[in-house]
């Protein structure tokens, strides 16, 4: 069992960005039309911004306000599929026998975005990149809890996915549109400044229900309505409960 305080949070999806937008979306969750929109990320210098992929921009936009300028906080980046757009472009180059770009390859690896965060923010502490299954979000929270247990005052956690190329339809079916959810979490003790949540895990023998949208966005909805949230995947059943 894990208990955390959500000090801050921010989410992004096409056309849904501001807190009021997410409050409205949480009242009536629905699929969003992804036309390739991406955040401007004007807080990043132009030369550095040119190296950011769409997924990286989404991550930076969501996570940037979670860490103050004078803070050094651990960073947990989670994505089940990662840089599918970059890797698909490289596979296309291989198929055409075109030369591969070392820069594109270096920025396609799963921990590249965590590395870019460290460089852009001047962060010298721990950074972790996680790729799991449909419960990658919960595994990222477990990682954050271990960092808090090791003494971190707070941890920045971000989970993000980019809508993959249509060539992946039939293989990747859990990213109907691009999104990111960033959290600043801390220990749920007497000094907690945000809503407190308990995450527990137990075994599961039931068939997992079909996905009806990104699970991390279900948690955004739970942040608004304060309802208990269950997430079943294979042999695992995760339960999120608000702590009074």
What would the mean pLDDT of 16-28 be, rounded to a whole number? 94
Is 133 a member of any domain?
Answer: yes
In the chain, the number of structural domains is 1
Q: With a cut of 80, say whether residue 186 has pLDDT above it.
A: yes
Query: Residue 68: its pLDDT value, please?
Result: 92
What would the mean pLDDT of 17-46 be, rounded to a whole number? 93
Query: What mean pLDDT, rounded, does the chain reach?
Result: 92
pTM (2 decimals)?
0.93
Is 118 a member of any domain?
Answer: yes
Query: Residue 98: its pLDDT value, please?
Result: 85
Q: 168-180: per-residue pLDDT in tens?
A: 998 998 999 999 9
Is 200 a member of any domain?
Answer: no
Alpha helices in the chain (DSSP H): 19-27, 46-49, 54-63, 84-95, 102-108, 112-121, 136-149, 215-225
What is the torsion angle, in degrees rounded to the nearest 10, for the CA atoms of residue 209, residue 213, residue 216 and residue 222?
Answer: -80
Q: Which residues pair with 10 in a beta bridge?
A: 182
Q: 195-233: per-residue pLDDT in tens?
A: 999 999 999 887 766 557 899 999 999 999 999 999 988
Is 188 a member of any domain?
Answer: yes
Is 204 a member of any domain?
Answer: no
The parent domain of residue 164 ranges over: 2-195+211-229
Could you tell me which residue, 3 or 103, shows the higher pLDDT?
A: 3
Query: Residue 206: its pLDDT value, please?
Result: 78
CATH number where 21 lies: 3.40.47.10
What percentage of the chain carries pLDDT values higher than 90? 72
Is 235 a member of any domain?
Answer: no
- Between CA 170 and CA 193 the distance in angstroms is 43
Backbone angles phi, psi at 233, to 5 degrees: -150, 115
Query: Residue 102: its pLDDT value, please?
Result: 80
Among all chains, which residue has been given the structure tokens 């269950």? 230
Query: Residue 209: its pLDDT value, please?
Result: 62
Q: 223-239: per-residue pLDDT in tens?
A: 999 999 999 888 899 99
């Amino acid at each position: 069992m894990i208990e955390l305080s959500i000090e801050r949070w921010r989410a992004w999806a096409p056309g849904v960005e501001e807190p009021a937008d997410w409050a409205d979306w949480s009242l009536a969750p629905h699929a969003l039309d992804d036309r390739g929109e991406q955040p401007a990320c004007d807080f990043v210098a132009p030369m550095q911004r040119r190296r950011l992929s769409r997924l990286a921009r989404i991550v930076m936009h969501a996570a940037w306000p979670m860490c103050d300028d004078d803070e050094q906080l651990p960073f947990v980046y989670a994505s089940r599929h990662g840089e599918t757009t970059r890797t698909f472009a490289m596979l296309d180059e291989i198929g055409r026998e075109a030369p591969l770009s070392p820069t594109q390859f270096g920025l396609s690896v799963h921990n590249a975005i965590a590395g870019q965060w460290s460089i852009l923010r001047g962060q010298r502490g721990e950074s972790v990149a996680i790729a799991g299954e449909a419960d990658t979000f919960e595994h990222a929270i477990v990682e954050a809890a271990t960092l808090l247990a090791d003494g971190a005052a707070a941890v920045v956690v971000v989970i993000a996915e980019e809508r993959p190329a249509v060539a992946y339809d039939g293989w990747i079916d859990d990213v109907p549109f691009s999104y990111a959810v960033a959290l600043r979490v801390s220990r749920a003790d007497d000094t907690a400044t945000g809503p407190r949540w308990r995450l527990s895990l137990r075994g599961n023998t039931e068939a997992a229900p079909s996905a009806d949208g990104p699970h991390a966005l279900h948690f955004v909805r739970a942040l608004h309505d304060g309802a208990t949230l269950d997430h079943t995947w294979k042999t695992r059943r995760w339960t999120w409960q608000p702590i009074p």
